[in-house]
Structure 1
């Protein structure tokens, strides 16, 4: 197969975090809105699906061109080498999206691309008529943006945020990819204590444990491209072996999660067990105002209630004030909070060292960062 072009898709605002992960895997990349593109060998399909903590999915780029007429879309799609990737028995549905483009009817674009791919495959396999589509899945996407059509095949299957450990969740679960992003944006290292005072179903503490022991987030799940005939089974085996070899299961961790709701503590405990961290993460029913510690230089990461629902606002505002008081004595700790509440700093009682715009689903939030005192340098 030689080289392939891959796109790691990313939520708005975290492209730089995903790009760093791609570079850490050893691939040079370019960054655009919502996508990180890199050229690599086919083993990169396996490695990026297994290792990228903050990307949404990995797509295989087949082609990109300008298209302002359906005719142009059809001919240019048909000219791409689909037979190189898609076997004769493959199932190949087409999904689509169109933003600021002349061809705005997504359903028309989908059916034209489907017909063009069929034509291309008929020529490649020297056959007439339709294809059975009973084999492995190759989900094609036509994405139009400002009249540029990008054609990709999804290599992930279900989104990468589905790690396979979440047996239960609460009402507003944080996506695993966002939880990993929140941790990656901190100064936490595995030798420091880590606390999530609003742990809900345990996503942030579990992602911290995965990061702390260098366990690939995809270790416990399957990917649609594992069934593709042109990626040799041995390549997937090597990629999974690398995951096993690089995991540091002996790394001791001090990770705690608190929540005011005892039902969430039960769910979080079950999820941590499912992820293999039953003995590592400690969960406890507790409200944030009761937080106290005698350990220095820890990190707190939280996704507290935002008070967006009617009737919750006052309660949440009081809780932010109580949180500020509870954390104030621990000046060596770094604190990171994600919320959409515009008055957070005022209620917390302190301006943030830094804040960063992030989206939690469709909610625009700010990630407030309070950096603690640095540990003294060891004097020889």
Structure 2
């Protein structure tokens, strides 16, 4: 099957433009929509995109789109789609669904109808007299209906793309790897500059920065559902993996530090970095932010200080942001980036941010405060 396919890279709110830029860097032309980036590409884009997209949540293959206001329309239009091109004779195809502002509002009914339509199509095309065995590869189908337009897709990723495979330990409120990578990509940091996260927790921001710095594909050490699909040939996966290996630059020297007040989290962060194959590329230290000394110039601080249920006392908030304000004042060549759900931290810091961007950490609305340093 050599035809072009339509793909959707789903994205957290506020990160669509970053995901689109990553798609563009892969050589495909993206179309940005709320919570997703859509693009057409050859089949090899399935392994390449899964391996390389740092900030997308998952990658879906669009099988078809159509208007549907009745269950009959949904059934017949689903059955008319070429499912046999994608789902193997023994493939498992569970169906999930969602509906918003649509005539067909019963998600469970829509799922059952789509499941039945796909099964009838596959039995006909594969020449099966009885029910589908569903003992083979997994093809997770989704029916999403928005304003009476149905989009039927298959999840190519399996486990979400934020699961890089290196997290052997974590704290109470770990930062998603995809969001951590976005925090780095939203800056002008380059590998030759020092980078520190003084609230590193399980080390996600420093680890993602190191992967970016050495151009290591974030999905290089994990598996994907579509690796077992018959139409995504193993030679395409081999080609994509070879490309990822060739583009990695393991010789880049990095100056990345992660620190935290909790010695247990520092140990977890170090274990995660080792699992990611980063060895001693990142330095880990136990210290509080008020003891931090930035000896180099032109550096970057990228951090997600504790907030919400993790920090309930005004004095703790005040101490943290006053310490950050002191660092900003005493290190004018450093660029400081802080993501937090607390409002008006500029009052504690004592300086208005150069730029502020709204982001979501899960369902928590945050602001990304950006203090640009004056480079020498």
* Cα distance in structure 2, aligned partners of 1:299 and 1:193: 6
Contact 1:199/1:259 (CA < 8 Å) preserved in 2?
yes
2:359 aligned residue: 358
SS of the equivalent of 2:240 reads helix
SS of the equivalent of 1:87 reads coil
1:42 aligned residue: 43
In structure 2, stretches of 5+ residues that fail to align are: none
* Cα distance in structure 2, aligned partners of 1:309 and 1:201: 14
2:129 aligned residue: 128
Deviations 1:173-194 (A, max 9, x none): 0000000000000010000000
Question: 1:307 deviation in Å?
Answer: 4.2
Question: 1:311 deviation in Å?
Answer: 3.5
1:14 aligned residue: 15
Deviations 1:287-307 (A, max 9, x none): 111111220000000000124
Contact 2:266/2:284 (CA < 8 Å) preserved in 1?
yes
Contact 1:290/1:326 (CA < 8 Å) preserved in 2?
no
1:327 aligned residue: 328
Go from structure 1 to structure 2 and tell me whether the alpha carbon gap of 1:91 and 1:187 turns closer, same or farther (over 3 Å shift).
Answer: same
How do 1:1-380 and structure 2 match up within 5 A?
Answer: 1=1, 2-308=3-309, 311-375=312-376
SS of the equivalent of 2:273 reads helix
SS of the equivalent of 1:168 reads coil
* Cα distance in structure 1, aligned partners of 2:71 and 2:149: 13
1:378 aligned residue: none
Contact 1:213/1:249 (CA < 8 Å) preserved in 2?
yes
* Cα distance in structure 2, aligned partners of 1:86 and 1:337: 45
Measured on the aligned residues, the alpha-carbon RMSD in Å equals 1.1
* Cα distance in structure 1, aligned partners of 2:312 and 2:203: 26
Deviations 1:82-127 (A, max 9, x none): 0111111000000111122221111111111000101111221122
Contact 1:307/1:313 (CA < 8 Å) preserved in 2?
no
Question: 1:347 deviation in Å?
Answer: 1.1
TM-score, normalised to structure 2, is: 0.98
Go from structure 1 to structure 2 and tell me whether the alpha carbon gap of 1:230 and 1:310 turns closer, same or farther (over 3 Å shift).
Answer: closer
My pick for the range that moved more, 323-332 or 362-371, is: 323-332
My pick for the range that moved more, 98-107 or 6-15, is: 98-107
Contact 2:55/2:179 (CA < 8 Å) preserved in 1?
yes
SS of the equivalent of 1:358 reads strand
Deviations 1:199-247 (A, max 9, x none): 0000000000000000000010011101111111111001000010000
Number of matched pairs: 375
My pick for the range that moved more, 67-76 or 315-324, is: 315-324
Question: 1:317 deviation in Å?
Answer: 2.5
In structure 1, stretches of 5+ residues that fail to align are: 376-380
